[in-house]
Structure 1
C-alpha cells in the first residue's frame, strides 16, 4: 500500500521529468557549452597561427591584409569561441604593433581586414595578385 501511495504521489513529478526530453537535452547542452567554447577558442587560435605562419612563409608584398582577414575568417567559422579568440589575438597584436612604433594607420587598416574576416566576409577581397594558390 505504501509503495502504491508513493508511486501515485511521485507520478506527476516523474512523468514530467521522463516525458520532457527537452529538459534533459537542455541540461546536457548547457553542460557541454563551456567545453565547446574552449575547444573552438583553441582551434581558432590555431587558425590564427596558421595564417601568421603562412604570411611569413609567403613573404609576399601587400599580402598582410589578406592573411589578417583569412585568419579571422577561419577562426570565426569555428563558432563563438573561435571568433572570441580571433578578436582578442587580433587586438593584442595590433596594440603590440602600435607600442613598437608602427604607423597607427596601418593598424586601422589591419583591424578593418580583421573585422571583415571575423564577420564572415570573403578574405579574397584582400588577396594580392600573384599570390601563389597554395595560400
Structure 2
C-alpha cells in the first residue's frame, strides 16, 4: 500500500493540472489525493480485519466511495490505486478476469457515488 501512495503522489506531480493558477496549482488536488489514498488504505485494513467471506466487493466500493467524496484528487487516487491493485492481482495472484471485472465494477460504483452497501454481505458486523 505504501507503494500505491508513492505512485499516487508521483503520478500527480507528472500530471498536475495546468488549468489552475500557478500559486494554487494542485494544492487542493494533492491534499484530496493523499486523503483518498488514506481512505483506500483504511478500507483495505478493515477488509483484512473483518476477514469476512463475500465482503471484498463491499470494501472495494467503500474505499473508492470515501476517497471520491473528497473531490477530484480523491477520486483520482482511488482510480490509480484500484487499477494498480487489480493489475497486480491479475498478473500475480491468478484470481482471474471475472474477479477483476467484478472488483472494478465495485470500484467504479463507489467512485461514482454509488452506495457501497449495495455490495454489503448479510451479517457483516456493523463496525464496518
**Which TM bucket (shorter chain)?**
0.7 to 0.9
Any stretches of 5+ residues in structure 1 without a counterpart? 1-28
Distance 1:32 1:123 in 2: 33
Q: 2:95 aligns with which of 81, 99, 102?
A: 102
The question of 1:85 aligning with 2:77 is answered: yes
Structure 1 residue 103 displacement after superposition: 1.1
Distance 2:74 2:34 in 1: 7
Q: Between Structure 1 and Structure 2, whose CA radius of gyration is higher? A: 1
The question of 1:129 aligning with 2:119 is answered: no
Structure 1 residue 102 displacement after superposition: 1.6
Secondary structure of 1:131's aligned partner: coil
Distance 1:66 1:114 in 2: 9
Per the alignment, residue 106 of structure 2 pairs with 113
Secondary structure of 1:32's aligned partner: coil
Q: 2:49 aligns with which of 40, 57, 65?
A: 57
Instruction: Give me the CA root mean square deviation.
Output: 1.0
| 4+ aligned runs moved over 3 Å, structure 1 | none
Distance 2:70 2:51 in 1: 27
Greater share of helix = 1
How many residues are matched? 107
